[in-house]
Amino acid sequence: MAEPTTARSWTAWLLAAPAIAYLTAFTLIPVGLLLTVSFWKSGIYGTTPDFNFGNYVRALAVPLYRDQLIKTIRIALTTTAISFLISYPAALYISGLKGRLKSMLVVLLFLPFWTSFVVRTFLWLPILGRTGLINQSLIWLGLIDQPLEFLLYNEGAVLVGLVYVFTLFMTLPIYLSLDKIDPALHEAANDLGAPPLQAFWRVTLPLSRPGIVSGSIMVFLMSIGSYVTPQLLGGPSGNMYGNVIASQFLANNNWAFGGALSVILIVVVLVGLMITRRWIGTREIFLGGGA
């Protein structure tokens, strides 16, 4: 019995080898280098291997960087919440359809993927800008005399862009969870005298929780690490932690401090995932839609 077991073990390792190699080359090694550099020191002559905790002390003690991290977490949570409020009704409606209309709407959900992420973000510039669609429409209707300045280059514009780009990643997991719910459960709830709202609260919502959790995690992770959207739509007041990190590597040439900021963001994400895992369980996080 030992030989077949050993053979299966070697087969499993061979099948997993490409994925392990990929994760090692593009995740473990880069993160390890980033962690190492974060304890070094950067100066006008480059980065030197002088082990110290100064970068982390600066990142956590200086209000500018600490407040930027809190702001980024707040934007990511807000994006996740708004995406859920938009996605759940849409997913619930589509899951209740049948036939060609349902298939057509599911295909339409994927339409944003047919264009570049950057192009989809750029789309909001001619909509929210001074000479954009909203301002020109309001002027044409006589509701305003001058273009509105607050539509672009602020935190609100960043939220609009993030919600637009990432809502799909909330909608699809929720739709998959809802679509797997046995219609007989709703019929049983109705037969037992449950009103539609109570049936939704006691049956539909709990069974769709895996999709909600999966979508929320995906949207939060992508939002908290955003760089392009706040760079294009946010301006100085809409910058997020990713923009601060990029400025350390590109503009300030301070790789050590940029590495420390990056590690802090990674730790925040991992802590959030651990809390979520403890709260609802690993299976629901990674197998969303397993209703």
Radius of gyration of the chain (CA): 24
- Cα 271 to its chain centre, rounded Å, is 15
H helix count then E strand count, the chain? 17, 2
Cα–Cα dist 251/5, whole Å = 55
Cα–Cα dist 49/255, whole Å = 12
Residue ranges in the chain modelled with pLDDT below 70? 1-5, 7, 278-291
Identify the structural domains of the chain with CATH numbers, from first to last. Answer: 53-286 (1.10.3720.10)
Can you give the pLDDT at residue 286? Answer: 42
Can you give the pLDDT at residue 237? Answer: 85
Can you give the pLDDT at residue 256? Answer: 94
Can you give the pLDDT at residue 287? Answer: 42
C-alpha atoms less than 13 angstroms from C-alpha of 53 in its C-beta half-sphere: 3
Can you give the pLDDT at residue 283? Answer: 47
Asked if residue 291 lies in contact with residue 210, where contact means CB atoms within 8 angstroms, the answer is yes
